Structure 1
Amino acid sequence: MQFDDRRRFLAKVGSGMLVGSLGASLAGDLGISSACAEDHDGRLTFGDMEPLVALMQETPLNRLQRVLLDRIDGGTELRTLIAAGALANARTFGGHDYVGFHTFMALSPALEMSTELPSERRALPILKVLYRNTDRIQQFGGSSREVLKRLDTLKHEGARPTGHALQAATRKADVEQAERIMASMADQPAQRIFNKVQFPVQDDANVHRVVLAWRAWLAIDLIGQQHASTLLRQSVQFCLQDSKNRLEKGRPDPELWVLLPKLLDQYKLIGKPVGTRRGDDQWIEELAWTFFRSNRSQAADAAAQVLAEGYEPDQIGEAMSIAANLLLLHDPGRSRDQDGDKVKGSVHGASVGVHASDAANAWRNIAAVSDQRNTMASLIVGAYHTAGQSPHVRPERWPLKQDAVEAIDDQSELLKITEGAVRGRDQALAAAAAQRYGELGGSPRPLFDVLLSFATSQDGALHAEKYYRTVTEEFAKTRPSMRWRHLVGLARVSASEYGTPAPGYEEACELMNVDA
């Protein structure tokens, strides 16, 4: 059998598996047939996962949640559904669509959130995000508009590919060259591909650029090493699109193109052993305020200097995270009503504090899993990214309603006040009650449970799951004397985003017979 014939045969087998797994009657009702999986030239497919991936793309939205619950009842694990959703998302959008890549970035956080919920509610964040995923895929055009194609249709590069070569291609918006380079290293270990992809990712300070790269890395463990290149190509495609826009609009080259190599060379950081020094609380606080107050190039220089002095890399990451939280707690909120639920005074969604926190979390995590060069580079770029934003917020902390809770010593009462304040969209009271609860030594888990319910039920302008996960991770990694401020920020954001339930959430609750 010739290769093309064999490929078409396997595609038909895959579609037949999908029809077989659903049953012919149900598949017909859903509009799924062998035709939906017909393998047009260059189509990217996923072997044994293909039937479930196709289900995520093709199932009509009004039937999706019932079909997914049937799969769960039949023994399909939640992580498998998320894996299929991630592959469907990557193939369809390839990092090109705003709602699409935001949905991809919410998939692994939704899975983590599910583990914190009671067993009867664990599927809720999964169904919520997969509903958004399929809805956007179908709006985008589904299989007829898939961005990512098979890499084996490209001629591989003869020379050994490097991160610098990939970076050069993305800077020129040379899609074909970048794809050839990705094709040439598709069979390499995931870690090696990841480190090369970091070169273009580090070229600019853009929250989606870095968070997409980090969430793609996490998805590799979930989906499998064989799909590493597919997942990481999203970041490369995002960088290519960004360069295309820059060139078309005549914008100047990003400052980081010159600044990052200059600092790596000036402080002799390439090849330098990773430091082990740790700062005390005052040192971390001062570095965080340096990042908060400085312009971007000053913050990058400060991070490089601290690395050269032998401080442990995650000390810079911790200070970045605290500085990002300062941005959130100093934010006066939006100055006017914007699209959807982003009303005047709100701080959820694409706000300065939420974006800074998500970005700092991603840079910190990428630094922790990268090679030596990218550890140093990610923290310098992360500091650069975090800084320069204080002109957008108040110099003093945004006032909380501390006088309303300062006399309350009952921790259970404070949890009730926090929940009620969130439902009343009272950011100042919700944050004050969360802060007072922490001052009294309250256990974090009950407060996380209160706020998790809102991260699960609310739309959050595409950011609810991602920001909730940022806070849980940063709370766990931040020193005890400073960690509670992350929960205060989450309480504020939860109150800001309340009032716009996520599409499909109430239907999922009804199907699962749980309270909405």
Structure 2
Amino acid sequence: MQCNDRRRFLANVGRGMLVGSLGVSLAEDLGIRSAYADDHDDRLTFGDMEPLVALMQETPLNRLQRVLIERVDQGTDLPTLIAAGALANARTFGGHDYVGFHTFMALSPALEMSSELPSERRLLPILKVLYRNTDRIQQFGGSSGEVLKRLDAIKHQGDRVSAKALQAATRRGDVEGAERIMASIADQPAKQIFNKVQFPVQDEANVHRVVLAWRAWLAIDLIGQQHAGTLLRQSVRFCLQDSKTRLQRGRPDPELWTLLPKLLDQYKLPGKAIGTRQGDDRWLDELAWTFFRSDRGQAADAAAQALADGYAPDQIGEAMSVAANLLLLHDPGRSKDQDGDKVKGSVHGASVGVHASDAANAWRNIAAVSNRRNTVASVIVGAYHTAGQSPGVRPERWPLKTDAVEAIDDHSELIRTTGDAVRDRDQALAAAAAQRYGELGGSPRAMFDVLLSFATSQDGALHAEKYYRTVTEEFAKTRPSMRWRHLVGLARVSASEFGTPAPGYQEACELINVDA
């Protein structure tokens, strides 16, 4: 078939239908993807990665896992699969679709989870999130519904645009203006782009806003610096969409627009060196409770004061993390049944504690990799974000079934009890057993292994992978006297989410010949 004939054929039949009928391998052999790119000048493509990215978008779902396993058998490594999935997701959704951007945020956590599993099971979390990714991409319209287009390098705002200019464009919902700015900085080092994007990210306390930015940054190392602009455009587009919704609904300007610059100026933080002062356990506990009990303005002020007093940003971040965990441990659960498996009393998915923990983790991590201004700003906004939510939970801790485990001293029995309680969806017993195990000095790895199996097998209402990764990171970074509470929270969430296996999980287990 001649090239021009093939292009006319594609125009008449439709590229997606042709790929579906011919199969991915034959379509690649025919060069269909390069023809599509030639015919659509604004299509965003990814060079050598393009065939694998397109495979993620277009392989029929009932063949996807088999095709991915074949790719691995042929030598494609797991990071490359995740990288292709991330690019396919970014191009398709551009930070606009709820399920889409949640799936993007699960990709790098799934890769980390894979590294913790025995070799014969390492594919499972990868297949899980890529199955979800392709499923949602195809529901969204596949290649015909792509949000991100190729930026025109000629149409930009000049070479010296500022972070404040990008922030101003997102605040007024100016998509074209923001995209022109992103085009003008596309060739800058990834960290410079990242630091500019933080200005609009800091404008509102929204968990998806901050976690998407953090997961995009992590994906840059995996995918390559040349794709930094594409990955971070998702965050910009999310902020733009948020602003357009705010303007359409007539909502007032967010408090952070004025509060953050006021606190930066009041405490003269931009001109101060980053502090290194360490707080003792009492200081940390008091600050965590301040964040938990205070309104958002008070918490932001407390964080700014601590920075001005020379405390290291990560010390304040640790208090944010502990406060977020308190929200989970004090949460009575949903007051009534909601959609899917989010029944009355459940705490998984988009619950106050899970969201607060994921957000605190993201703000803390962003602060650690940003320039000085964004380090202090991220800590202040992170404290603001964590606070103001305690009216929705109990003032005292949600009761655990401590009586049921207080006589158990055997580590193995407590591990079994935790796993059995999760399978019984008994949050109070699962959390109590995990807590008792920690009090007795049990191995964290053994408990993580039990809970990792559930984060891998269960759907988790889009949050299982992300929250599991949050807990592993926060456990590692929290001082020994306070870290075990993160595993207690994970045990509770695991019990809450159990009972809804991830779509495609059973098939994946059968394909790689492991027990489900």
TM over 0.5: yes
Q: Distance in 2 between matches of 1:154 and 1:56?
A: 30
CA deviation digits over 1:413-468, x for unaligned, max 9? 00000000000000000000000000000010000000000000000000000000
Q: Distance in 1 between matches of 2:234 and 2:59?
A: 24
Matched, 1:404 2:400: no
Q: Distance in 2 between matches of 1:34 and 1:412?
A: 56
Q: Distance in 2 between matches of 1:291 and 1:352?
A: 14
Asked whether the 8 Å contact 1:31–1:59 carries over to 2, the reply is no
Q: Distance in 2 between matches of 1:30 and 1:392?
A: 53
What letter matches 1:73 in structure 2? D
Matched, 1:374 2:368: no
**Structure 2 unmatched runs, 5+:** 8-17
> CA shift at 1:25, angstroms?
6.8
Matched, 1:91 2:91: yes
> CA shift at 1:41, angstroms?
2.4
Q: Distance in 2 between matches of 1:301 and 1:391?
A: 20
Q: Aligned in 2, Cα 1:154/1:99: closer, same or farther, shift over 3 Å? A: farther
Asked whether the 8 Å contact 1:271–1:372 carries over to 2, the reply is no
1:14 corresponds to: none
> CA shift at 1:30, angstroms?
8.0
Asked whether the 8 Å contact 1:284–1:319 carries over to 2, the reply is yes
What letter matches 1:489 in structure 2? G
What letter matches 1:414 in structure 2? L
> CA shift at 1:153, angstroms?
5.7
2:348 is paired with a residue whose SS is coil
Asked whether the 8 Å contact 1:32–1:58 carries over to 2, the reply is no
1:179 corresponds to: 179
Q: Distance in 2 between matches of 1:263 and 1:142?
A: 45
> CA shift at 1:35, angstroms?
3.9
Asked whether the 8 Å contact 1:30–1:59 carries over to 2, the reply is no
1:448 is paired with a residue whose SS is helix
Asked whether the 8 Å contact 2:33–2:51 carries over to 1, the reply is no
> CA shift at 1:359, angstroms?
0.0
Q: Aligned in 2, Cα 1:511/1:280: closer, same or farther, shift over 3 Å? A: same
Q: Distance in 2 between matches of 1:416 and 1:351?
A: 27
2:231 corresponds to: 231
1:249 corresponds to: 249
> CA shift at 1:156, angstroms?
1.5
Q: Aligned in 2, Cα 1:116/1:471: closer, same or farther, shift over 3 Å? A: same
1:482 is paired with a residue whose SS is helix
Asked whether the 8 Å contact 2:153–2:184 carries over to 1, the reply is no
CA deviation digits over 1:179-206, x for unaligned, max 9? 0000000000000000000000000000
Q: Distance in 1 between matches of 2:262 and 2:412?
A: 54
Q: CA RMSD in A?
A: 1.8
CA deviation digits over 1:62-84, x for unaligned, max 9? 00000000001111000000000
1:479 corresponds to: 479
**Structure 1 unmatched runs, 5+:** 9-18
Q: Aligned in 2, Cα 1:96/1:154: closer, same or farther, shift over 3 Å? A: farther
Q: Distance in 2 between matches of 1:27 and 1:454?
A: 32
Matched, 1:27 2:24: yes
> CA shift at 1:26, angstroms?
4.7
CA deviation digits over 1:257-286, x for unaligned, max 9? 000000000000002100011000010000
2:129 corresponds to: 129
1:292 corresponds to: 292
CA deviation digits over 1:169-188, x for unaligned, max 9? 00000000000000000000
Q: How does 1:72-83 map to 2 (within 5 A)?
A: 72-83=72-83
What letter matches 2:188 in structure 1? Q
2:195 corresponds to: 195
Q: Distance in 2 between matches of 1:463 and 1:33?
A: 39
Matched, 1:361 2:358: no
> CA shift at 1:474, angstroms?
0.1
> CA shift at 1:28, angstroms?
6.7
Matched, 1:170 2:173: no
2:102 corresponds to: 102
What letter matches 1:206 in structure 2? N
Q: Distance in 1 between matches of 2:27 and 2:141?
A: 17
1:325 corresponds to: 325
What letter matches 1:375 in structure 2? T
Q: Distance in 2 between matches of 1:217 and 1:82?
A: 14
Q: TM-score, normalised by structure 1?
A: 0.95
2:336 corresponds to: 336
Asked whether the 8 Å contact 2:167–2:199 carries over to 1, the reply is yes
> CA shift at 1:27, angstroms?
3.1
1:367 is paired with a residue whose SS is helix
1:474 is paired with a residue whose SS is helix
Q: Distance in 2 between matches of 1:351 and 1:412?
A: 31
Worse overlay, 369-378 or 152-161: 152-161
Asked whether the 8 Å contact 2:274–2:372 carries over to 1, the reply is yes
> CA shift at 1:161, angstroms?
1.1
Q: Distance in 2 between matches of 1:456 and 1:249?
A: 39
Q: Distance in 1 between matches of 2:254 and 2:410?
A: 52
1:151 is paired with a residue whose SS is coil
> CA shift at 1:380, angstroms?
0.2
Worse overlay, 156-165 or 33-42: 33-42
Asked whether the 8 Å contact 2:427–2:491 carries over to 1, the reply is yes
What letter matches 2:234 in structure 1? Q
1:158 corresponds to: 158
1:331 is paired with a residue whose SS is coil
2:11 corresponds to: none
1:46 corresponds to: 46
2:265 corresponds to: 265
Identity %: 84
Q: Distance in 2 between matches of 1:238 and 1:504?
A: 29
